[in-house]
Chain A
Amino acid sequence: MNGIHIGECETFETEVLIIGGGVTGTGVMRDLALRGIHCLLIDRRDLNAGASGGNHGLLHSGGRYASADWETAAECRQEGEILKRVATECIEDCGGLFVAVAGDDPGFAEQFPEHCRNAGIPCQSLSRAEAREREPGLTERLIAAYRVPDATVDPFRITLENVNHAQRLTGSVYLPHTKVTAFEIESGQIRAALCQDTRTGAARRILARQVVNAGGAWSMEVAGMAGCRDVNLLYSKGTLLISNTRLSRGVINRLRPPGDGDILVPGGTISLLGTTSDTVTGLQGIRPTVAEVERNLDQGIAMLPGLATTRFIRAFSGVRPLVQAAEGIQDGRQASRGFTLFDHESQGLENFATITGGKLTTFRLMAERTGDLVASRLGNQESCKTALEPLPTGDGVRWTKPGFSARYWYQRQDPTDAVLCECEMVPQSAIDAILETAPGAEKPMELQAIGLRSRVGKGACQGAFCSLRVTSYLYDLGHYDSNEGLVRAREFVSERFRGVRPVLWGEQLPQMELAEALHCSLMGLDRLDDLASGLGSVPGVGQE
């Protein structure tokens, strides 16, 4: 499907427009495509720009919610089991522990097995020695430990796989950098979504029979554009830290009411420690702070003393959209982690739905419910297939997993395949595969988009070198004939810096100093604008 230009405005047509390229929106896209429906997915930035790219990657066994919210807990357990079957490539079934340490409430710990039983979650009590044998990094001051079937999930991979599959099934389309700004509404129906290309400013008009709002934390804003006042969200900001080593065998949860720094999640060759939870009033300027990093660390160290000397390479933040059921809940941790599907019929609209809240773990179920509603509205009789049909994989979507490119490169043994990112061993051939076959990104694909589809920029140097190497490679391929490539590289390292800034101490500080020397002193990225405009005006420089 191609856009048709009418005057200044490019017009697209589809059966279902999905707004939001997170795990939910892409999940809905695949769900509908499996029912034979054509979809158009848009995101104001790119895939996983929201919470789906800023979370803990924990495929919850449900243990975390067993004590306070057994429905969510049971939902997590059930969905976890399904995903372990159908999305094997995206999941590491590493198991998890819940541990209490001296000072934690022993009563809370004692009730844990019973709460798990109520939600149907397998839970095995471990002795202190057993727990520490399994996870040697645990503190000696353990007072209780239980084993649960937690796992970890690569959200980047899941999202890419969803889009990849939907594209193949029905020729569904994904448009990045496309932000919905308004809707054309006529007699109870959305006729078109008016969008803007956030790169070029160009207007786009999308005609669709059904519209799904999967805008995550932004879904209240998007619903508002259609005049719907029924979506009422609480925003809960969470911040996490990444280390570039694997600190544990499986997931380690603190056994106490949820608090800062109480879950460690390994994934491939890295680990994530988090998370904070702070209610925020807006979605602007969300970035991790030094104070949040300190809170996570102080708490995490009580459980895993080695964290005090661990090298963290980055922090990041995401915003959880929590659906406010009851009036007056101000604390994000008390609000339900359940999801809500709004059919908006009470708001006088017949072809609009919003799916929000929930978890990464439950995205499939959220997509199923949404798919059921949308399909029935379209008169489509097909039932949901995502619980049984495995996610296929493809050459363009394999590169997000920590450690994968390195194995691939060593196995391939091709001396002409230059490694462009040395920290994560991402070779040129991986970039080629992504440029050619990774789902949905602008052509030519920018460094940011490549970073999202690979490990480029995610290793110890956080893009200091690889941003420049990949940029040179893109120049070599002829993607740019001006300083645009450098402008993109500058954007990329600026974005990386937001996450690096709060963890700059110890070994990361020399790394940062080198990065800044490279980017500014050597390459002049800090002065690109001045250099571009001012060069001609420096008269006949020098004495040579």
Chain B
Amino acid sequence: MKLSYYPGCTLKNHAKNFEDSTLCSLEHLGIEVEEIPRWNCCGTVFSLATDDLMHHLAPIRNLIRVKESGSDSVMTLCSMCFNTLKAANERMKSQPEDLDKINDFMYRENVKYEGDVKILHLLEILRDEIKFDNLAKKIVKPLNNLKIANYYGCLLVRPKEIGIDDMENPTIMEDLMSVLGADPIDFPYKTECCASYQTVDKPEIVADRAYSILSSATGLGAEMVAVSCPLCAFNLDQRQKRTLEKYPDFKTVPILYFSQLMAIALGCPEESLRFDLHYIDPMPLLKEKKLI
């Protein structure tokens, strides 16, 4: 199996741990990954105003790159890239007159876009294409006795037409964690937004939100929280510094990408986990569990 891959901006810096652990895991699963050439930022958020076509140019241009590379589907890791690319594509499919207008601006492209690229999130690929059963066969270090709360946030599951699972009670991450040998913990904040881009100018809102979300998870016994989005990861991990300043009773908790957990279970080397990028160091817990 060969996958076309769209990384997006943050996977190349702050979320290098997400990218490296994914690439290592897919290599262990015998899957070839090809990064699409000359990709650009997708814009991170889908433009919601009906007349704002201009901001759909960036995501659609990336889908043209996918077609150019000879593929008809693309893998994303970041929940926001996934949502923006897929939502822009859905709009092109449902509103052909918008697609015509977008194509008018693509005069320097050799490929005409027809709404024909499928946008997939890695979690969906694991569930539907690689299949969890096959993944299970490749596990060398099951994540035994590790209690993990799985945090979806918003854009992986909402809106309904875009989401990869049930939007009120998704279970795809819990299912993956069970396959990896861990104990998934259900918690009521799993689809509550982390306050997203408010982190730039209103970080105190994020600190409060991290307090509610993470305290709920640890209160129910979680030893770590798994995420699938670099913005969720930043808000829930790096912002714990502020949360702790504001709430002295706050219990810190390591935040990992689901891909890092998969990489551990598949026997990827420690370098691919890039724990140097974390604020709350997961090492003590992983050592205690004899996983590192």
Q: Do A and B bind each other?
A: no
Interfacial residues, chain A to chain B (CB-CB below 8 A): none
